[in-house]
Amino acid sequence: MEEEVSRLVDRLTLEEKLRLIRGAADPEGTATGYVPGVERLDIPPLRLVDGPLGVRAMGERATAFPSSIALASTWDPDLAREFGAALGREAAAHGQDVVLGPGMNLIRVPHCGRNFEYYSEDPHLTARIGVPTIDGIQSEGVAATAKHYVANNQETNRYDVSADVSERALRELYLPGFRAAVEDGDVLSVMSAYNRVNGTHMSDHERLLQDVLKDEWGFDGVVVSDWWGTRSAVAAAEAGLDLEMPGVGIEAFLPEEMPAQGADDGGAELPDLDDLEGMVDSVDADAGGGPLPPIPEFPAYFGDPLREAIESGDVDEAVVDEKVRRVLRLVDRLGRLEGDAPEGTLDTPEHRRLARDVAVEGSVLLANDGVLPLDGGDSIGVIGPNADAAKLGGGGSSEVSPLVETSPLEGLAERFDEVAFERGAEPIAESSFFNPTEDGQADADASIEDAVALAESVDCAVVVAQDDATEFRDRPDLALPGEQDALIEAVADAAERTVVVLRTSGPVTMPWLESVDAVLETWYPGQADGEALAAVLSGDADPGGRLPVTFGRSADDYPTAGEEAFPGVDGVASYDEGVFVGYRHFDAADVDPLFPFGHGLSYATVEYGDVTVTETEDGFEVAATVRNVGDRAGTEVVQVYAGTAAAPVPCPERELVGFEAVSLEPGTETTVRIPVEREAFAYYDDADGWTVPDGTNDLVVGRSSRDIEAAFRVEC
């Protein structure tokens, strides 16, 4: 492979080399990014496509899978690999070579508009779900892209904000997911983030791109810029950026039309370019940031500007040769130099089943006062401003247009004998970059009074509530938008039983929690929304999910509550909380969460038996016996946390180091064995690097970060 790649590099002209390291307009108009190839040397084009939640080939349809945070809520690496493989097959079916996902960024800010695209506030869980997703995608002859490298934790002022973060926090929190993607997942592509880190834009960040990613971790794939995220020619070229995207201005990038989400036919004309730029500017301004930086005009930085720098001697052509070599290596690894291209499959029964399974297994039962599961003969009042539409995802580059979809109303009407519907409040507008909401969606007939009347007449009121999250904008607060909180309170006062179904991108406040009987978090469930919801509420399936993020009681509970931390002051977001993010912060600050990291209820009644820790050659093995003493099948997620008590620096009370999800039939038991390496106790020291402290440390086993079943002291 390397000999063939070197032979091709030697035969390329400088102009041809530059064509291979920047994007161009896709003649088919479907790819998110397009590298034209070199026909003279039989180098084929390379097509890159958005895909964290499903394939977003422009103007095309695909399976709309649940959001990434829902996938992480399954705590099931095998299911993540199955999802990745399906994503790879669908990308191949659309003639695409590279999937621009998964998103490996940590959930630091609960308001972040793209949290639904990310996995967790915890780096171990992020890695354990992200790596098999990558493996699944690449098993189908399609490259995966770990994004957005690194510390891309907010949308407000995302193009210029500097994440001022310590080396220790980078190493312990923000880099491990990407490191696992490289070292364990052999990911073929990594996307650089828009933001700056400690003052330097990521496209120009030589220490993180070259020194850490490529030299230290041995990444030999392609570093691709985020779209219009390249900020220089010379600095980016020498820092280690390999491929600039999209390489053209927005006029050439966007097609003239694309289908409206969920439409059966026809296309929705995109706004005029000036209107589009104004729309994006206003979205970003509403979020508290300034207008977007100017969209670069063609030729791109890696076009004429880089060519001129080479001709003037400011950049050695060998720098470009290395970038070309990486691009050709990727093309060759996919078999494209030999003409191999997988056919893939699209919208198969298997993929539809998988979309449902992820939605079911990722549903987290937060609270249940004995009301769930519901009886099939119960009369159900479905209430909610958007309960008659599937929640496919958030806005931005992850938007997917499915071929089929099922709303909560449709799903429950199919499963239960008697179902009625009231909106209760005006619909929540859903932000969309590619499928703008049509005007006039307000429902003048929607009223809380009508919802209350329905709630009084049925056996159970099911209130479906949601937030609105999107790329480009962070959520203004953690409250449910519109009148939804008031609607839930009123329904709960009137109904005999009230179940709240949340379709949110992350944590939300719940002022009505004590008034309702059950709360189910389904995140953004995708096309199988209603089908999965009916299965869970009826008890046909167990809600298998556990929280991958901490739910606080208010935004003030999080370490990013201050303006300096988020959204930042004078273009700088201070990560002064260091390694104390998510549950690590809640433990250190002794803040009682609304629902802790790892929390989730089951319809099964699971008890823990013997829990032991045994020393091994590499560290320790935790063994936990769990048994289902109830009369329903269900899921238990055994979680192992380590505490570095012997460290000479402040460390989190406990950190997730292992887990396993098990399904248990009634009356059965199993023993779960989870290895824990000694390196799991390591902290990062600026002088000595990764250090395992000598002395007595802690291992705990629990159902969540706060619900502990057993604790042990171990010697390292």
Q: Which residues pair with 149 in a beta bridge?
A: 192
Same fold, 2-338 and 354-574: no
**What is the predicted pLDDT for the residue at 1?**
81
Mean pLDDT of 299-318: 93
Q: DSSP class of residue 470?
A: B
Give CATH for domain 604-715.
2.60.40.10
Kindly calculate the radius of gyration of the chain based on its CA atoms and give it in whole angstroms. Answer: 25
**What is the predicted pLDDT for the residue at 436?**
61
Strands (E), 372-440: 379-383, 418-422
Tokens standing for 30? 């479907």
Tokens standing for 111? 């308001």
Q: Assess whether 226 carries a catalytic annotation.
A: yes
Across 202-237, b (16+ Cβ under 10 Å) vs e yields bbbbeebbbebbbeebebebbbbbbbbbbbbbbbbb
pLDDT tens digits along 89-148: 999 999 999 999 999 999 999 999 999 999 999 999 999 999 999 999 999 999 999 999
pLDDT tens digits along 588-611: 999 999 999 999 999 999 999 999
The fold of the 354-574 domain, in CATH, is Rossmann fold (3.40.50)
**Residue 251 pLDDT grade (very low, low, confident, very high; cuts 50, 70, 90):** confident
Tokens standing for 494? 């009137």
Q: Which secondary structure element, helix H or strand E, spans residue 145, and what is its range? A: strand 145-149
pLDDT tens digits along 187-246: 999 999 999 999 999 999 999 999 999 999 999 999 999 999 999 999 999 999 999 999
Query: Using CB atoms within 10 A of its CB, is residue 381 exposed (0-12), middle (13-18) or buried (19+)?
Result: buried
What DSSP assignment string belongs to 621-688? EEEEEEEE-SSS-EEEEEEEEEE-TT-SS---S-EEEEEEEEEE-TT-EEEEEEEEEGGGG-EEETTT
CA pair distance 64, 401, nearest whole angstrom: 7
The half-sphere exposure of 63 on its side-chain side, counting CA atoms within 13 A, is 27
**What is the predicted pLDDT for the residue at 444?**
77
C-beta of residue 490 within 8 angstroms of C-beta of residue 450? no
pLDDT tens digits along 618-655: 999 999 999 999 999 999 999 999 999 999 999 999 99
CA torsion through residues 553, 554, 555, 560, sign:
negative
- With a pLDDT cut of 90, the percent of the chain lying above it is 89
pLDDT tens digits along 529-540: 999 999 999 999
**What is the predicted pLDDT for the residue at 250?**
77
CA pair distance 687, 165, nearest whole angstrom: 17
The fold of the 2-338 domain, in CATH, is TIM Barrel (3.20.20)
Closest of 667, 500, 56 to residue 47, by C-alpha: 56
pLDDT tens digits along 499-521: 999 999 999 999 999 999 999 99
- With a pLDDT cut of 70, the percent of the chain lying above it is 93
**What is the predicted pLDDT for the residue at 256?**
58
More confident residue, 287 or 162: 162
**Residue 259 pLDDT grade (very low, low, confident, very high; cuts 50, 70, 90):** very low
Mean pLDDT of 58-85: 97
Q: Which residues pair with 268 in a beta bridge?
A: 258
Q: Which secondary structure element, helix H or strand E, spans residue 690, and what is its range? A: strand 689-691
CA pair distance 191, 298, nearest whole angstrom: 21
Residue 289 has pLDDT above 80, yes or no: no
Peptide bond between residue 150 and the one before it cis (omega within 30 degrees of 0): yes
What's phi and psi for 232, nearest 5 deg? Answer: -165, 170
0.85 surpassed by pTM: yes
Mean pLDDT of 478-486: 98
pLDDT tens digits along 210-225: 999 999 999 999 999 9
Which residue is listed with tokens 């100017």?
294
C-beta of residue 352 within 8 angstroms of C-beta of residue 391? no
Mean pLDDT of 466-475: 95
**What is the predicted pLDDT for the residue at 432?**
86
Closest of 6, 73, 206 to residue 502, by C-alpha: 73
pLDDT tens digits along 40-51: 999 999 999 999
Tokens standing for 129? 């779900």
CA pair distance 311, 503, nearest whole angstrom: 55
**What is the predicted pLDDT for the residue at 299?**
58
Tokens standing for 439? 């005007």
**Residue 295 pLDDT grade (very low, low, confident, very high; cuts 50, 70, 90):** low
**Average pLDDT of the chain, as a whole number:** 93
**Residue 260 pLDDT grade (very low, low, confident, very high; cuts 50, 70, 90):** very low
C-beta of residue 56 within 8 angstroms of C-beta of residue 32? yes
Residue 274 has pLDDT above 60, yes or no: no
C-beta of residue 35 within 8 angstroms of C-beta of residue 46? yes
Lowest mean pLDDT among 96-100, 133-137, 283-287, 563-567: 283-287
CA pair distance 26, 34, nearest whole angstrom: 5
Mean pLDDT of 462-473: 96
Letter for the amino acid at 565? A
CA pair distance 429, 66, nearest whole angstrom: 20
**What is the predicted pLDDT for the residue at 279?**
40
Which of these is catalytic: 135, 226, 242, 542?
226
Domain ranges within the chain, ordered by starting residue:
2-338, 354-574, 604-715
C-beta of residue 637 within 8 angstroms of C-beta of residue 659? yes
**What is the predicted pLDDT for the residue at 417?**
94
